[in-house]
Amino acid sequence: MSSDPEQAPPTDPAPPPRTRRPWWIPFFLGAIPDVDAKSLTLLGTVGLAVFFEAYDLSLLTSALSFIAADLEITEETLGLWTGLIRLGGLPAFALLPFADRFGRRKVFLASLLGLSLATLASAFSPTILVFALLQMLARVSFITFSATAIVIISEEFPAKHRGWGMGIFGALGALGYGLSAILFSQIEVLPGGWRALYLVGAAPLLFLPVFLRNVPETRRFAEIQQQRDDLEGPTSTLLGWAQPIRDLFTTYPQRMVGVTLACFIYAASELAVMQFVPYFILEEHGWEPWQYSALILLGGLIPLWANVAAGRLGDRFGRRPVGMAVMSMLPLGAICFFHVSSDLLAIFWIILSFGSVAANVMLRAIVTESFPTSQRSTAAGWMTLTGTVGAALGLWSISWGQSMGFSLPTIESIVSCFAIIAGLALFLLPETRGLELEEISDDPHAAPQAARQGSAPETSPL
């Protein structure tokens, strides 16, 4: 046999095993890209978790009027209490750095357990104060869980399809909202009413063995942790917790400005609008709960599809232009939604839902991709911290506006317009589509020689 390379070309390495379409990805979400079976299994597992956790989170919105009646909350204080609950997400920024120092898996599992237990306990709340405290605990657990899950997906998925993976993750969460809508339609006949809905939120406790088995530590974290320990030696717990925070603010300051502006402003606009959508439908237009549930279910396929559509569009055209476009849908949908007749509510609710869902996919993608592995979870924590503060202030602005004599439709329309500024802030961040994470950011702990030679991290994109 000849040794001529033209006659005996080298054999390509065997491709990684592929899998058929998983049963848990509906056909209307489009074709499955070229993703290996291991990645799909991981995505399905974290997707199962977010399905139930999104169900838990949605209850405060859908059942708000029933909770308010049972716990004797007045309309004038609804914005204050819901804003206070939103502030429950603030401690997540203090928890997520642990994922950068001690592992994504540990933080993911602990926060998942915390949210399930807090949701279960909420069903037995005797007063609004107890309910608010439990929901604050649930919110910090949810934010920690979801941010860590997004980091796991971004680190384990192939570069070309990270947006798709995050879109599917969001779509599975949207299915959880659908389950909430189905059960909410029966709230007037369920024993205990809204409390029965919160009891269902304990379901993830039954799947703990699945999460323990199928959610390993990410390869990128394991590698950077090994390099960091070899080069820097063991670090105390306190210093280990603080180091990612310090690095986050010194390595890429321009990116931090972009993240802060985009997340803070968009959350203030989006949550102020979306929190009052069901309340406005039920109270101002007199809809019955089953009618609201029908709206969510019949129109639910569009925001469900929006997760995957946003991911695919971001993979093709870029996170920044797609993010700007979908954020601009919020004021368009809000201004119309709060000023039209009941017959047209569904049309503008779909616009609101599509824009809200797609914008959050783009925000999660670009923020987690824009920072190095040793800071990625902390960056996700900063995103949620600024978003939580923005959401609370946005909700309080609604109460303030009403106290100043503005009607709910008027103040909602004004606040929604700030989403356009958030879209512009995305252009302070690098374009990350199609790039390996190591191409986007230089990790100060993975490349200490470059830092000693004086190469500034800001020489990479932004």
For every residue of 37-51, DSSP letters joined together read HHHHHHHHHHHHHHH
Q: How confident is the model at residue 457 (pLDDT cuts 50, 70, 90)?
A: very low
pLDDT value, residue 3: 46
Check whether 278 has a pLDDT greater than 60: yes
pLDDT value, residue 460: 43
Q: Pick the more confident residue, 461 or 233.
A: 233
pLDDT value, residue 15: 52
Q: What is the mean pLDDT of residues 423-432?
A: 94
pLDDT value, residue 258: 95
Q: Pick the more confident residue, 457 or 371.
A: 371
Nearest to 174 by CA among 299, 276, 282: 299
pLDDT value, residue 155: 92
In this structure, the number of other CB atoms found within 10 A of the CB of residue 456 comes to 10
Q: How confident is the model at residue 451 (pLDDT cuts 50, 70, 90)?
A: very low
Contact indicator for 314, 162 with CB cutoff of 8 Å: no
Low-confidence winner among 150-159, 282-291, 342-351 (lowest mean pLDDT): 282-291
- Which residues neighbour 39 within 8 Å (Cβ) at sequence distance 6 or greater? 156, 157, 158, 165
Q: What is the mean pLDDT of residues 179-200?
A: 86
Q: What is the mean pLDDT of residues 289-315?
A: 79
Q: What is the mean pLDDT of residues 452-456?
A: 40
pLDDT value, residue 462: 54
Check whether 321 has a pLDDT greater than 90: yes
Check whether 402 has a pLDDT greater than 60: yes
pLDDT value, residue 235: 57
Q: Pick the more confident residue, 290 or 236.
A: 290
Contact indicator for 370, 58 with CB cutoff of 8 Å: no
Prediction pTM value = 0.76
How far from the centroid of its chain's Cα atoms is residue 388's Cα?
12
Nearest to 119 by CA among 171, 63, 197, 185: 197
Q: Of the spans 9-13, 221-225, 300-304, which averages the highest pLDDT?
A: 221-225
pLDDT value, residue 459: 40
pLDDT value, residue 239: 59
Mean pLDDT of all residues in the chain?
Answer: 83
Q: Percentage of the chain surpassing pLDDT 90?
A: 24
Q: Pick the more confident residue, 144 or 18.
A: 144
Nearest to 399 by CA among 132, 155, 75: 75
Q: What is the mean pLDDT of residues 349-363?
A: 88
pLDDT value, residue 231: 67
Rg (CA), the chain: 23
Nearest to 269 by CA among 383, 81, 367, 395: 395
pLDDT value, residue 238: 56
pLDDT value, residue 105: 93
Q: Pick the more confident residue, 330 or 10.
A: 330
> Could you give the CA distance from residue 242 to residue 245 in angstroms, rounded to a whole number?
5
CA dihedral over 218, 147, 349, 56, signed as positive or negative: positive
Q: How confident is the model at residue 403 (pLDDT cuts 50, 70, 90)?
A: confident
Check whether 53 has a pLDDT greater than 90: no
Q: What is the mean pLDDT of residues 4-8?
A: 48
Q: Of the spans 57-66, 73-82, 193-202, which averages the highest pLDDT?
A: 193-202
What are the tens digits of pLDDT across the range 93-131? Answer: 888 888 888 889 999 999 999 989 999 999 998 888 899
Q: What is the mean pLDDT of residues 167-176?
A: 85
Check whether 271 has a pLDDT greater than 60: yes
- What distances in angstroms separate CA 276 from CA 68, 75, 338, 440, one per listed residue? 13, 11, 10, 38
Q: Pick the more confident residue, 153 or 301.
A: 153
Check whether 324 has a pLDDT greater than 90: yes
Check whether 424 has a pLDDT greater than 90: yes
Q: Percentage of the chain surpassing pLDDT 70?
A: 87
pLDDT value, residue 222: 87
Q: Please name the helix (run of DSSP H) or strand (run of DSSP E) that holds residue 102, with its range, or none.
A: helix 97-102
Q: Pick the more confident residue, 58 or 366.
A: 366
Q: How confident is the model at residue 142 (pLDDT cuts 50, 70, 90)?
A: confident
Supply the DSSP string of 241-277, one letter for each residue: HHHHHHHHHHH-HHHHHHHHHHHHHHHHHHHHHHTTH
> Could you give the CA distance from residue 333 to residue 359 in angstroms, rounded to a whole number?
14
**What top-level class would CATH report for the domain 35-459?**
mainly alpha
pLDDT value, residue 455: 41
